[in-house]
Structure 1
Amino acid sequence: METKNIRIGDILINAGFIKEEQLQEALAYQKVDKSKRLGAILVDYGYVTEAQLLEALSKRLNVPVLDLKDTVIDLDAAGKIPQNIAFKYTLIPLAEDNNHLVVAMNDPLDFYAIEDLRLITNMNIDVVLAPREVILETIRKTYTEIEAKKAARAANKAVEGSSLSFVEDILTNEGDAPIVNLVNSVLLKGHNAGASDIHIEPFEKETMIRLRVDGLIVDYLTLANNLHQSLIARIKILSNLDIAERRVPQDGHFRIRIDGVEMNVRSSSIPTVYGEKMVMRFLSMNVPLDHAGQFGMNDQDYQKILQMLQSPHGVVYITGPTGSGKTTTLYMILEMLSQRNVNIATIEDPVERNLPKINQTQVNILAGLTFDVGLRSILRQDPDIIMVGETRDTETASIAVRSAITGHLVLSTLHTNDAVSAVVRLQDMGVEPYMVANSLTGVVAQRLVKKICPNCREAYAASEIEKELLGEPRLTTLYRGRGCHICNNTGYKGRTAIHEILAIDKTIRTLISRKEPIEDIYSYVEETGRLIPLRKSVSNLTIQGITSMEEFLKLSYYVE
């Protein structure tokens, strides 16, 4: 199509859309603002509509006007033109065939634009017409899809050989495929890397996707920030959240199946200064629990907890900070107890894993089903063993204690730094000391400690201060991880649990019921050796070269 000698003003006058004096007025303005195209000036002046402009050009040049909303765009063809060029000239490549590139333009008489396209692509340019705003919107959408396709391709390299499907069918548009593939690849990568959480974080110039692996945040992907909102919208659709609401936090979940294993993904969004941040957490609903290694305990600790669980009634608490594996330990205990001829009921928020032969109830605050309400109802269900996901308030703590006194074995979690502190925590929550003394069977404090990566583990000479901190003056060698590709350059691979187990005996019950200072309980268990402190457990792992001095110092800070 030769356009160099065709003038848009003549076309519009011949079509009867404008008069000569209107054309001259627009040309006079163009001399002042040379950056503006004549057609745009005439539209701005109201002398002609964009539809009339396109109609006249279509008839004169014999090129069609396309509805881009119904046009499937070849992303490979669009990718031949940089996004900044597409915006500069208001055009979008649609398809390619036999060295011809079909391009939608708003101004097909822009000779310089067409020449630039020929130079960039070394192809013949075939022009079609489309409205300006529609082209601009299509540019934004198309190049977002191109970026998503590139990101998905990069993400796919790390997850080849794995398959993912959604338990519930999620309707998607064909144009959403690159974003859909990107989200799928991110979920697969997170699962295959053993991540507990996936963080999607918006910043000023980019979006970062990071994974929490073995308690550490590691970088995974950096994306162009124009992908961010589409990425968040896809996850919101999966989670049945409001995609239009970006001002307040939202929580949801969806279910996926990876390599035949079904799991729940909990999603949480929160607005930040650069957009919504999204965190997805994997909850492995049906993955078998690993009971090997006696819950990760040594023989002495394992026998202590077995003895606690032999009691037909009482409360056993698992304590520790968020992310210390408390719920996983509870689930392993429940699976072991379910082998007996007993009825087990739970009240949880959320239910993280489906357990056979166990009646699990999900907290639903909106419906009024809280921990204390659920616990009261469970007591009318003839249970032998009750698991309360978390003792959060006075009411729940009181009901749990009374349930234990009246003949039930109750398992729950608390947030305390060590085992003995659970006694103080219950009293602070308003439970009478005599009730704590009569109901409490035992407390298991737990932490997860990172293990040194076996691939990059190296020995070094222990310093005098390290020997002093570990209480081993004759120690000569300690170990650390250098960092390698196996461990994402963190120096750690995997985690192991350490425990501090307090079995409540007659003396401790007396100290609690008499409201003696907590220091008296600490002194008693230390003098009698009834409790091996967490600090001692991690010290042993450090000396054995299983974990590092860094982990020892971190845990020592938390428990002191």
Structure 2
Amino acid sequence: MKDIKEYVINYDFIKRFDIEALKKSLILPLYEDEIYSYCAVCKSSDIKFAKSCFFNLPSFINIKQDEILFYLSDLEKRYKLYNLYKSSLQSSEQNNKNFIEEFFYTLLKFSIEKRASDIHIETDEKLLIFRFRIDGRLKHIISFSIDFFKIISSYIKLRAKLDITQYRKALDGRIHEKIDEISYDFRVSFMPTISGESIVLRILDNKTVKKDLNLLEFSKPIYEGLKSISSLTQGLVLVCGPTGSGKTTTLYSILKSFDISSKKIITVEDPVEYKLSGITQINVNDKLDVSFSSVLKNILRQDPDIIFIGEIRDKLSLQIAIQASLTGHLVLSTIHSNSALNSISRLLDLNSQSFLLSSTLKSIFYQRLVLRVCPYCAFKGCEKCNYTKYLGRTAICEHLRIDDKLSSLIAKNSSLDEYKSYLKKIDYEDIYSDAKIKVKKALTTLDEVYKVLGFEDEV
């Protein structure tokens, strides 16, 4: 099956036809030359209709039905991007600025309308490929000729205050843009590749971290556990899971549950992605000698009540987290692990002293994000969900509260079997139990849970 991203779709060509007729017939026009017309079809396409519309069809390009419908959606926005791309190539360098500015703004606005978290701009030998990460999955949006690469790359570098002559090393910057009267920050990363550069723009949308805990769709036991953190005055609380599992959003929402006006809250992040009012946020920057280790070594001199460490990444960050917890501070942080129980092993692997960890660790939350069933199309696929049948994501989670028995097991550096035996005895509800609740409520599906967590007997 041919990959549609290998084609520069001619949206002028598509505009000649009735869009509703194309959708009904499941025909996607691609382009034409002086001899032939080219279009994409699927198993359910009306081939007779295609042959009546196009001249000289040498063969059909076969793709999936949902792809045809997706590329025929948002047609005006795709048409605008396509024509701005052509105008940017055809105009002189002196007159190009307005076209590329409008192209970039249109691209950013389109990504936000599609609820993207990242924009990926990638090169191969002949094409420049644009993809959006939507609900954690990359979705191809549009492709252009490679000639457009230098224009868009240079413009993004200028906006991010980066060296436009540098193509052979990694670059990082930031762009601020107001779209429909709402301010957005975009974190920009350039990485050299064998065919040019890979450019990724992370969309930093403060709306996602302004949510209260009760708006994050956690099941009741998990919500109660997260809410209880606000009553703690000291100790270590961890949220664990892989990259992109929503850990930071959860922790920021926990921070919002505190009485910020009476607390000194300091965050140490690499980098600070979301700005929160009333909280002291420190951006780690090795170039300015504001390193993770130097900040953590001096943070207690700032007289904090609550410390948020972006990630327990090494022995030093764990030592300081434990030290701060022992001296009357509440420390919130994240760690990469594949279960709440596994995070204890990860902490001990960082050479923490088990008796100190046992007296400071209070709660561990392990969470993952699963796709949410689209509420608009009853699982048929529609324009709102990009014909994927899913719209947005919801969290599934488990909460391991460190009681006296677990604290004792940590202090004795017990085996994994001893932990599991005790958790079984107290009917511990793991993440699979939470997943069952979401499936029963038709918020997600078993297939999606299996994809995210793997097949387990418990589900």
- TM-score (norm: length of structure 1): 0.63
Aligned to 1:400: 321
Structure-2 separation of matches of 1:175 and 1:413: 45
Q: Say if 1:254 and 1:338 are closer, same or farther in 2 by CA, change over 3 A.
A: farther
Which shifted more, 334-343 or 258-267?
A: 334-343
* Contact 1:335 1:355 (8 Å CA) reproduced: no
Aligned to 1:155: 81
Whether 1:260 and 2:181 are equivalent positions in the alignment is: yes
State the 1:367 CA deviation: 2.4
Whether 1:211 and 2:137 are equivalent positions in the alignment is: no
Q: Say if 1:558 and 1:206 are closer, same or farther in 2 by CA, change over 3 A.
A: farther
Aligned to 2:344: 423
Aligned to 2:44: none
Q: Say if 1:527 and 1:155 are closer, same or farther in 2 by CA, change over 3 A.
A: farther
State the 1:287 CA deviation: 6.7
Aligned to 1:388: 309
Structure-1 separation of matches of 2:82 and 2:115: 16
Aligned to 2:251: 330
Q: Say if 1:248 and 1:386 are closer, same or farther in 2 by CA, change over 3 A.
A: same
Aligned to 2:286: 365
- Runs of 4+ that moved beyond 6 A: none
Aligned to 2:445: 548
Highest RCO, 1 vs 2 (Cα 8 Å, sep ≥ 6): 2
Q: 416, 428, 443: which one pairs with 1:518?
A: 416
Aligned to 1:141: none
Q: 286, 291, 298: which one pairs with 2:219?
A: 298
Residue deviations 1:415-469, cap 9 Å, x none?
A: 0111111111111111111111011011111111101122333xxxxxxxxxxxx
Q: 320, 326, 335: which one pairs with 2:241?
A: 320
After superposition, residues 431-446 of structure 1 pair within 5 angstroms as: 431-446=352-367
State the 1:155 CA deviation: 3.0
* Contact 1:418 1:559 (8 Å CA) reproduced: no
Q: 352, 372, 389: which one pairs with 2:273?
A: 352
Structure 2 counterpart of 1:542, one-letter code: V
Q: 403, 417, 430: which one pairs with 1:533?
A: 430
Structure 1 counterpart of 2:429, one-letter code: I
Aligned to 1:492: 390
Aligned to 1:129: none
What SS does the corresponding residue of 1:515 show, helix, strand or coil? coil
Whether 1:557 and 2:454 are equivalent positions in the alignment is: yes
* Contact 2:213 2:250 (8 Å CA) reproduced: no
Q: Say if 1:559 and 1:198 are closer, same or farther in 2 by CA, change over 3 A.
A: farther
Structure 1: state its 5+ residue gaps. Answer: 1-83, 85-149, 158-171, 458-480
What SS does the corresponding residue of 2:448 show, helix, strand or coil? helix
Structure 2 counterpart of 1:154, one-letter code: K
Q: Say if 1:305 and 1:500 are closer, same or farther in 2 by CA, change over 3 A.
A: same
Larger Rg: 1
Structure 1 counterpart of 2:303, one-letter code: D
Structure 1 counterpart of 2:389, one-letter code: G
Q: Say if 1:316 and 1:550 are closer, same or farther in 2 by CA, change over 3 A.
A: same
Structure-2 separation of matches of 1:151 and 1:333: 38
Structure-2 separation of matches of 1:372 and 1:338: 28
Structure-2 separation of matches of 1:233 and 1:310: 51
Q: Say if 1:284 and 1:246 are closer, same or farther in 2 by CA, change over 3 A.
A: same
* Contact 2:209 2:274 (8 Å CA) reproduced: no
After superposition, residues 120-199 of structure 1 pair within 5 angstroms as: 154-155=80-81, 174-199=95-120
Residue deviations 1:287-335, cap 9 Å, x none?
A: 7612263542222222222333312100000111111111111111111
Structure-2 separation of matches of 1:151 and 1:251: 28
State the 1:242 CA deviation: 1.6
Aligned to 1:269: 190
* Contact 2:77 2:110 (8 Å CA) reproduced: no
* Contact 1:286 1:353 (8 Å CA) reproduced: no
What SS does the corresponding residue of 2:454 show, helix, strand or coil? helix
State the 1:248 CA deviation: 1.7
- TM-score (norm: length of structure 2): 0.77
Structure-2 separation of matches of 1:398 and 1:390: 13
State the 1:340 CA deviation: 5.6
* Contact 1:197 1:281 (8 Å CA) reproduced: yes
Structure-1 separation of matches of 2:365 and 2:77: 45
Structure-2 separation of matches of 1:173 and 1:362: 38
Structure 1 counterpart of 2:279, one-letter code: I
Structure-1 separation of matches of 2:126 and 2:456: 40
* Contact 1:214 1:495 (8 Å CA) reproduced: yes
Structure 2 counterpart of 1:511, one-letter code: L
- How many residue pairs match? The answer is 374
* Contact 2:213 2:227 (8 Å CA) reproduced: no
Residue deviations 1:255-304, cap 9 Å, x none?
A: 12222222221111112222111010011247761226354222222222
Structure-2 separation of matches of 1:346 and 1:265: 20
Aligned to 1:501: 399
* Contact 1:452 1:493 (8 Å CA) reproduced: yes
Residue deviations 1:447-498, cap 9 Å, x none?
A: 11101122333xxxxxxxxxxxxxxxxxxxxxxx343322112221011111
* Contact 1:196 1:212 (8 Å CA) reproduced: yes
* Contact 1:294 1:302 (8 Å CA) reproduced: no
Q: Say if 1:173 and 1:239 are closer, same or farther in 2 by CA, change over 3 A.
A: farther
State the 1:374 CA deviation: 1.1
Aligned to 1:478: none
Q: Say if 1:199 and 1:424 are closer, same or farther in 2 by CA, change over 3 A.
A: same
What SS does the corresponding residue of 2:368 show, helix, strand or coil? strand
Counting aligned pairs with the same residue, the percent is 33
State the 1:174 CA deviation: 4.3
* Contact 1:403 1:410 (8 Å CA) reproduced: yes
Structure 1 counterpart of 2:80, one-letter code: A
State the 1:523 CA deviation: 2.3
Which shifted more, 350-359 or 336-345?
A: 336-345
Q: What is the CA RMSD across the aligned residues, in angstroms?
A: 2.3
* Contact 1:201 1:209 (8 Å CA) reproduced: yes
Structure-2 separation of matches of 1:173 and 1:326: 46
* Contact 1:308 1:503 (8 Å CA) reproduced: no
